[in-house]
Amino acid sequence: MQYIQYHPQIIEEFKMNEAKSLFQSIDGSIITKFEDKESFKEVILLYNHKKKDLVQQQILFGLNSILNEDKYILLCKCYYEMRYTKLKQNEGFYIVILYNSQGKEYLIITNSNQFVKIETIIKRQCLSQHFLNKYHIIEQKRYLPFVQNYQNQELYCVLQIDKKQIITELDKEQFYNSIIIMNYFSEQTKIVKIYEENSMYYLFMKCMKLQSLESLILDDFEFREAPLVSIFYLTLQILQKYQNLGLYHGNINLKSIFINMQGTYLQILILFPKYLSNNNKGIQIDLLNLGQLLYQITFYEKKDKIKQFVDQKLITQQKQLYQNMNTENKQFKFLFRISQLDLLNQLLAQNITIENALKHQWFVTVKQNLKTEFMKDKKQCLNLRTIVESNNELSMTISMDKRIQSKEFAEYEIEDEFPVKCSILNPFQMNPSKQKHDNCVPKSKSFSSFDLTFENKEKFFTNNEKIFANNQSFFIQ
């Protein structure tokens, strides 16, 4: 390390405001589980608390943290101050101060380009203040609330966390871990700003209309089998990602799983993780909670009456009815087949792995049904194209989507092996090109289109969901 003398006036200022260093050992930190592709290194000046001097060091700016060799600072624990200083004839420089009740750290940046990069990270990942002076909250009946900037009118989706729920050190660890995990998992769950105001934390995400499964159910939402299967399959995929990182979610329930109502494709977000390191919990607790969630949806009967306890006798009774060939189920509208009950039993008994759950017969059966419907849809479109082209009236007769062209269909072939790589169009947001495609397909009694708006969700997925295969994801994107 190279120690350098800087202007004594700055050194004296740092000495007068002396506090403990915020850097702590990275051993055992959740940060070590992630590889942040957006991280970058910069050589800057740090105030050394032991030497009472400035030292030039290479710092890694990464996932909610800055790293100095084997020590790090978790930025979402820190407030910040920034200023530009110019002393007499010397060149100016930037001072960034990170602080909280535990200590304080001084960063000196002499290059303006460096400062712009670091400033962006600090403002996004550290705690900001004066929320109510800059933003107002827009409450929404069914969705997570928005916040809007008074000056530029920017909109964000916001998670509101009551600080009264964060009391113990374990509560604090869970809270900070949740920010780190959500930042890592996807662009949709990334926290873009963090504000603290009085007794609340406000976590900003990109602007989306997000509705929880609990809200959908209590809103008397009509689930169909294919989207319900898709929701559970994608949830398992996300949990598999947790497992591969050596993590667990710890808070799988109807309130933590959200649907992006505006996405072109059906998209699931799992928020509010509650992960703690060095405990006995693992991914099996998530599978158990997923089983309880599946039970609540499967046996939901009346509005505002979500079951809070699992009745194993009810599961056994319904399974026996199916085994006795009495498949006419009028009591539970979200119970579709016996394989659904089998997966439910295995999740609740905690005797199934994520890998085996992803291969379960319920998913295989629905996949085959979707494949059959897709091939019928494809055949109808190709036949229609042949008829129209034979009359040489394609351009005058109908405006057809490019997806019904034979060349395009070659990209949508469904694989024979499991899993199928396909996407289900989001029923909440009808794609204009999809509408053109539906308009070109002759309607039959067994194959009708669906049309769903935010105000008309009761028609969510008729029994003829259309799927378009691609090479990016299984079931939902």
Query: What does the alpha-carbon distance between residue 18 and residue 47 come to, in Å, rounded to a whole number?
Result: 10
Q: Mean pLDDT per segment of 10 residues, for the chain of length 477 residues?
A: 53 74 91 88 90 89 92 96 79 90 92 94 95 94 94 95 94 96 93 94 96 91 88 95 95 96 86 90 94 95 84 92 72 90 96 95 88 67 50 32 32 34 43 39 30 34 35 32
Assign 350 to helix, strand or coil: coil
- Residue 400 is predicted with a pLDDT of 29
- Residue 381 is predicted with a pLDDT of 61
Q: Which of 325, 317, 304, 316 is nearest to 345 (CA)?
A: 316
- Residue 355 is predicted with a pLDDT of 96
Q: Which of 466, 423, 460 is nearest to 211 (CA)?
A: 460
Q: How far is CA 151 from the centre of its chain?
A: 28
- Residue 380 is predicted with a pLDDT of 61
- Residue 396 is predicted with a pLDDT of 30
**pLDDT tens digits for 233-290?**
999 999 999 999 999 999 999 999 999 988 777 889 999 999 998 888 899 999 999 9
- Residue 321 is predicted with a pLDDT of 86
**pLDDT tens digits for 38-90?**
899 999 999 888 888 888 999 999 989 999 999 999 999 999 999 998 766 66
pTM of the model: 0.78
Query: What does the alpha-carbon distance between residue 397 and residue 380 come to, in Å, rounded to a whole number?
Result: 17
CB-hemisphere CA count at 13 Å for 146? Answer: 15
